[in-house]
Amino acid sequence: MARPKKEKKPKSIASTQSLGAFVKGICDIMRRSNCASALQYVPELTWILFLRLLDAQERRRSSSTSS
């Protein structure tokens, strides 16, 4: 039988250094996928950061309502 997949909790971005490491990691992945310059992946990076913030906000809301 297949095991149910566990939902991975994303690492928190609690400091400027962790945010910088997060952004650098995303940029490295996009660069490896043949994006020629930062101008090509800045919109995607912005969208990823927005979704990450939205997810964190939703998690906070759900944990405060369940307590």
Q: What is the pLDDT of residues 50-64, one digit of tens each?
A: 998 899 899 889 888
Q: What is the pLDDT of residue 17?
A: 87
Average pLDDT of the residues of the chain: 79
CA-CA distance, 42 to 40, in Å (whole number)? 6
Residue 26's closest CA among 13, 45, 8? 45
CA-CA distance, 31 to 38, in Å (whole number)? 8
CA-CA distance, 49 to 3, in Å (whole number)? 31
CA-CA distance, 4 to 20, in Å (whole number)? 33
Verdict on whether the full-model pTM lies above 0.85? no
Residue 61 corresponds to which tokens in the numbers above?
């809301």
Domain ranges of the chain: 39-67
